Amino acid sequence: MKNKQILLKSRPNGWPTADNFELAESAIPEPAAGQMVIETSYMSVDPYMRGRMNDTKSYVPPFELGKVMQAGIVGKVIASNGGKFDVGTYVGGMGDWANYTLTDATGFHPVDPSLAPLSYYLGILGMPGMTAYVGLKGVAEMKEGENLFVSAASGAVGQVVGQIGKNMGCHVAGSAGSDEKVAYLKDELGFDAAFNYKTDDIFKSMKGCNPKGIDVYFENVGGPQLEAVIANLNFNARIALCGMISMYNATLEDMPPGPRNMALLVGRSARMQGFIVSNYPELGREWVQLAAGWLKEGKLKYHESVADGIENAPQAFIDMMQGKNFGKQVVKLSDA
């Protein structure tokens, strides 16, 4: 057996393509003292990875050319040489775009496969779920009964944001990129209102979906949607800046202009704050406990898109960046 891996072959200029990736094979690694080997069951592909493909300074270092890329993974320890976890333990953490990851277990934690599907530890019980909770509670300080709007609402983070809002008695509205996704938000997740940002008039729809204005905006997209939100903010509104996927693949030549109505933030005493989920570890742990209880009670649902095989991970990433996924995008590598 071989260890299939995905390397970063070249850095994209604009949208990533299959040519930016390379499939390689190596021997399954042997653990040295204090190390263990994880057979990956699922790996995650996420929008933040696009930034790591650039050779620019950020809160995490860029991927190295010719080297294996990194991703959130969940899997089973199959070999250990005095490592932190015993063989047979299921763990989650930051591993490789590969079938097998060699690690000293730094950053890894045990997961319970009986609590939820393993893939959930990369989604609703992992970074996306924690991100939703941190943004709403730690950054926006959302209160019960407020008016919440979330962009990319059917995505890995957005669908959790909306359900937290509904469980807090908020009026929840959101946007998504297809009629199917809009129907899912309203019919399955209980959103009070939603619209298709690709086909509907964004400014009219934003006002119609938020008749009492917006107290909290969870920002995933940027661009015209941010302008439309700002026009509908209430006094003392808060914007939690999670991401702006509409700009991730823009070059300097085609970078869209920023919101033209930023001055409205002044008169409405509104606050806009960016955040990184890893800066709020206590809230992350709090979310896992809360979410586990809500899942058991049927208060949370989660939609995933699953690609099969490490060789299909690059295309899964490209499709996710283009909005072709429905919910959290993961790649299944094995049944371990």
- Model confidence over 216-254: pLDDT tens digits? 999 998 889 999 999 999 999 999 999 887 666 666 667
- What is the spatial distance between Cα 118 and Cα 36, in angstroms, rounded to a whole number? 19
User: Taken in order 60, 288, 320, 222, is the CA torsion positive or negative?
Assistant: negative
Q: Would you state the pLDDT for residue 313?
A: 98
How much is the pTM?
Answer: 0.86
Residue 68 has pLDDT above 70, yes or no: yes
Q: Would you state the pLDDT for residue 245?
A: 72
- Alpha-carbon distances of 105 from 2, 18, 86, 113, 227, rounded to whole Å: 22, 31, 11, 19, 43
Residue 24 has φ and ψ, to the nearest 5°, of -130, 165
Average pLDDT on 304-319 reads 96
- Model confidence over 130-184: pLDDT tens digits? 999 999 999 999 999 999 999 999 999 999 999 999 999 999 999 999 999 999 9
Tokens describing residue 283: 């809230």
The neighbour count for residue 143, using CB atoms within 10 Å, is 11
Q: How confident is the model at residue 271 (pLDDT cuts 50, 70, 90)?
A: very high
Q: Would you state the pLDDT for residue 49?
A: 94
Mean pLDDT, the chain, integer: 94
- Single out the residue of 186, 181, 196 nearest to residue 163, CA to CA: 186
Average pLDDT on 33-51 reads 95
Q: How far is CA 59 from the centre of its chain?
A: 16
**Is the model more confident about 60 or about 310?**
310
Task: Give the percent of the chain with pLDDT over 90.
Answer: 85
Residue 257 has pLDDT above 90, yes or no: no
- Please write down the HEC assignment for all residues of 231-253: CCEEEEEEEEECCCHHHCCCCCC
Q: Would you state the pLDDT for residue 248?
A: 61
- What is the spatial distance between Cα 250 and Cα 306, in angstroms, rounded to a whole number? 27
- What is the spatial distance between Cα 132 and Cα 243, in angstroms, rounded to a whole number? 12
Q: Would you state the pLDDT for residue 249?
A: 65
Q: Would you state the pLDDT for residue 253?
A: 67
Task: Give the percent of the chain with pLDDT over 70.
Answer: 96
Q: Would you state the pLDDT for residue 58?
A: 79
Give the Cα-Cα-Cα angle 175, 312, 277 (nearest 5 degrees): 50
- What is the spatial distance between Cα 316 and Cα 314, in angstroms, rounded to a whole number? 5
